């Protein structure tokens, strides 16, 4: 306000008490010393007691003091007269007998040349209830925070602890002590390396600077010397662009971390063992093939050069040797294929399953023509997979569907997408499979119809390994009479 404006305002002609009474938002009484008669009052005083202001001057304030609060009131006046300015808080009764809780401040003053009491009264009837309610609410939230299964703490912008829950520090006394303290105090108290506090402070600062949630895993040693892992998560809370609080959560993930370490160790051992096994099997199949080649070529020579010199029995025996070595060779070849199936991320590519079926069909063209096999397909999707293995998978299943026929083979191939997998069905009208054999046919060298059908017993084991390589499963449904349906699932990646 300018100096000119101030000069032009005319002050109200009034004494100080009138001004205080008019402007106060509380009830103000001027009381005679002995009788406590109301000499003067303001509007709020009239409103408080429920009377007209003019009518108040006929009453003493004592008429409105609740009998239960009388003693408090007199001792309040006494201390006022002795110059001690304590507050009176007690009950008053309004003109319509309503009990109110009030807080009063009283002073002895000189008014119109006489000693009087000026008493300022504030109604606080609802306050104690509200405070109680508030206290109860705080207790309720504290209980929740203390009972929750995770560690929780609130930090001031100076990174001092304002609240810590029980799961963070179980010891009540130590928890209380930590309030107002920093992580460095914590390390000192617990005799820990201050590196822990340094890392925490660095993270608090990062959260404050980035205004973003941050999480990290903290490795700690308990007072019993046990190593534990805590997943820490910090949430900054800003008020008007200023860091107000930081909330910190801690979840004990020791079991998980230890489990994961254990799992990695087991995986490493397994992969080493698997590698050694693969190498062993590879060497065995290779080394076995060498003498086999010798037997085959010498048997062939024997057959070629000495057929006319050998009698019937000898020729039969020779024949047994030739078929035996051929079978041995087939078995070793299949076994080598089985062993060499392994995952190769570089070999994964998107391919059409329809094309995979077409390739399998062209590889088996002669067999299909010879048997008049009819192969039909629904629309099949394109998926990411090991192309060569998927071709082999279809080839093995179609080959079996034709081999284990009881009439002209009819094969139908369909697919559906379900739960993140592509599920393919290869259905035939062949001899079917009894329930009790449904699992074992997928194991190496497990054959059911050894006499009637040729085979190595590895085909389905290869299928299973290929499917597992694609995180899927293979299974069969058959009533044992009217054919079989082979299903396999491939994870969609
Ligand atoms: P192989 O065909 O060389 O005998 P596989 O591992 O491919 O070996 O099959 C294992 C066994 O499962 C077969 O011996 C046969 O008894 C049975 N089998 C496989 N496919 C079919 C099918 N489509 N219908 C009936 N039986 C089948």
Three-class SS of the chain: CCHHHHHHCCCCCCCHHHHHHHHCCCEEEEEECCCCEEEEECHHHHHHHCCCHHHHCCCEHHHHECHHHHHHHHHHHHHHHCCCCCCEEEEEECCCCCEEEEEEEEEEEEECCEEEEEEEEEECCCHHHHHHHHHHHHHHHHHHHHHCCCEEEEECCCCCEEEECCCCCCCHHHHHHHCCCCHHHHHHHHCCCCHHHHHHHHHHHHHHHHCCCEEEEEEEECCCCCEEEEEEEEEEEEECCEEEEEEEEEEECHHHHHHHHHHHHHHHHHHHHHHHHHHHHHHHHHHHHHHHHHHHHHHHHHHHHHHHHCCHHHHHHHHHHHHHHHHHHHHHHHHHHHHHCCCCHHHEEEEEHHHHHHHHHHHCHHHHHHHCCEEEECCCCEEEEEHHHHHHHHHHHHHHHHHCCCCCCEEEEEEEEECCEEEEEEECCCCCCCHHHCCHHHCCCCCCCCCCCCCCCCHHHHHHHHHHHCCCCEEEEECCCCCEEEEEEEECC
**338 in contact with ligand 1, CB cutoff 6 A:** no
Tell me the two tokens of residue 85.
């300015």
Instruction: Give the atom of ligand 1 at the shortest distance from the alpha carbon of 462.
Output: 6
CA of 488 to the centre of ligand 1 (A): 15
CA of 492 to the centre of ligand 1 (A): 27
**335 in contact with ligand 1, CB cutoff 6 A:** no
Question: Which residue has the least CA distance to atom 19 on ligand 1?
Answer: 400
CA of 161 to the centre of ligand 1 (A): 70
Q: Tell me how long the chain is.
A: 493
pLDDT for 394 equals 96
Residue whose C-alpha is closest to residue 377's, from 430, 427, 423, 417: 427
Q: In CATH, what class is 3-125?
A: alpha beta
Counting Cα atoms < 13 Å in the Cβ hemisphere of 412 gives 7
Instruction: Give the atom of ligand 1 at the shortest distance from the alpha carbon of 432.
Output: 25
CA of 451 to the centre of ligand 1 (A): 13
Question: Which residue has the least CA distance to atom 8 on ligand 1?
Answer: 457
**401 in contact with ligand 1, CB cutoff 6 A:** yes
**430 in contact with ligand 1, CB cutoff 6 A:** yes
CA of 444 to the centre of ligand 1 (A): 11
- Please tell me the CATH superfamily of domain 145-252, with its number: PAS domain (3.30.450.20)
pLDDT for 14 equals 58
**106 in contact with ligand 1, CB cutoff 6 A:** no
Domains 3-125 and 345-491 share a fold: no
pLDDT for 5 equals 52
Architecture per CATH, 345-491: 2-Layer Sandwich (3.30)
Tell me how crowded residue 461 is: count the other CB atoms within 10 A of its CB.
21
CA of 58 to the centre of ligand 1 (A): 115
pLDDT for 264 equals 92
**359 in contact with ligand 1, CB cutoff 6 A:** no
Question: Which residue has the least CA distance to atom 20 on ligand 1?
Answer: 400
Q: Where are the domains of the chain?
A: 3-125, 145-252, 264-340, 345-491
Residue whose C-alpha is closest to residue 25's, from 98, 101, 107, 122: 122
Pair 244, 237: CB distance under 8 Å: yes
CA of 353 to the centre of ligand 1 (A): 22
**441 in contact with ligand 1, CB cutoff 6 A:** yes
CA of 192 to the centre of ligand 1 (A): 66
Q: pLDDT tens digits for the chain (493 residues)? A: 444 555 565 555 557 788 888 889 999 999 998 889 999 999 999 999 998 888 888 899 999 998 888 888 888 888 888 887 777 888 899 988 888 889 899 999 888 888 999 999 998 887 767 777 777 888 888 889 999 989 999 999 999 999 999 999 988 899 999 999 999 999 888 888 899 899 999 999 999 999 999 999 999 888 788 899 999 999 999 988 889 999 999 999 999 999 999 999 999 998 888 888 778 878 877 888 888 888 888 888 888 888 888 888 888 888 888 888 888 888 888 888 888 888 777 888 999 999 999 999 999 999 999 999 999 999 999 999 999 999 999 999 999 999 999 999 999 999 999 999 999 999 999 999 999 899 889 998 888 877 778 888 889 999 999 999 999 999 999 998 899 999 999 999 8
pTM higher than 0.75: no
CA of 417 to the centre of ligand 1 (A): 26
Question: Which residue has the least CA distance to atom 13 on ligand 1?
Answer: 447
**404 in contact with ligand 1, CB cutoff 6 A:** yes
CA of 400 to the centre of ligand 1 (A): 6
């Amino acid at each position: 306000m300018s100096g000119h404006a101030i000069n032009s305002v005319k002050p109200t002609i009034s004494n100080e008490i009138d001004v205080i009474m008019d402007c106060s938002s509380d009830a103000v009484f001027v009381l005679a010393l002995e009788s406590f008669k109301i000499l003067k009052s303001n509007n709020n005083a009239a409103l408080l007691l429920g009377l007209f202001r003019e009518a108040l001057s006929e009453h003493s304030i004592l008429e409105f003091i609740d009998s239960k609060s009388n003693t408090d009131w007199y001792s309040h006046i006494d201390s006022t007269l002795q110059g001690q300015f304590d507050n009176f808080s007690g009950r008053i009764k309004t003109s319509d007998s309503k009990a109110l809780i009030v807080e009063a401040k009283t002073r002895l003053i000189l008014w119109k040349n006489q000693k009087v009491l000026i008493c300022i009264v504030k109604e606080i009837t609802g306050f104690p209830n509200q405070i109680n309610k508030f206290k109860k609410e705080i207790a309720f939230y504290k209980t929740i925070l203390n009972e929750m299964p995770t560690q929780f703490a609130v930090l001031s912008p100076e990174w001092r602890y304002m609240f810590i829950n029980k799961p963070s520090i179980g010891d009540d006394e130590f928890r209380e002590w930590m309030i107002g303290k920093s992580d460095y105090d914590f390390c000192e108290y617990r005799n820990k390396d201050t590196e822990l506090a340094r890392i925490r402070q660095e993270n608090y600062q990062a959260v404050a600077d980035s205004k973003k949630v941050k999480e990290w895993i903290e490795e700690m040693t308990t007072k019993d010397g046990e190593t534990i892992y805590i997943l820490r998560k910090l949430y900054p809370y800003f008020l008007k662009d200023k860091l107000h609080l930081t909330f910190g959560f801690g979840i004990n993930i020791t079991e998980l971390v230890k489990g994961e370490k254990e799992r990695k160790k087991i995986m490493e051992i397994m992969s080493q063992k698997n590698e050694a096994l693969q190498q062993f099997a590879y060497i065995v199949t290779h080394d076995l093939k060498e003498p086999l080649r010798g037997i085959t070529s010498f048997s062939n020579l024997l057959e070629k050069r000495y057929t006319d010199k050998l009698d019937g029995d000898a020729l039969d025996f020779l024949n047994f040797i030739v078929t035996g070595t051929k079978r041995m060779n087939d078995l070793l070849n299949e076994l080598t294929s089985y062993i060499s199936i392994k995952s190769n991320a570089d070999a994964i590519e998107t391919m059409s399953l329809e094309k995979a079926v077409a390739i399998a069909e062209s590889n088996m063209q002669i067999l299909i023509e010879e048997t008049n096999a009819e192969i039909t397909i629904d629309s099949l999707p394109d998926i990411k997979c090991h192309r060569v293995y998927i071709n082999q998978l279809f080839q093995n299943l179609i080959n079996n569907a034709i081999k284990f026929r009881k009439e002209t083979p009819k094969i139908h191939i369909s697919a559906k997408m379900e739960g993140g997998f592509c599920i393919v069905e290869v259905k035939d009208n062949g001899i079917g499979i009894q329930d009790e054999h449904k699992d074992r046919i997928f194991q190496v060298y497990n054959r059911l119809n050894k006499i009637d059908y040729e085979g190595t017993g590895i085909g389905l084991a290869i299928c299973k390994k290929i499917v597992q390589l694609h995180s899927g499963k293979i299974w069969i449904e058959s009533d044992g009479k009217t054919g079989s349906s082979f299903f396999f699932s491939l994870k969609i990646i």
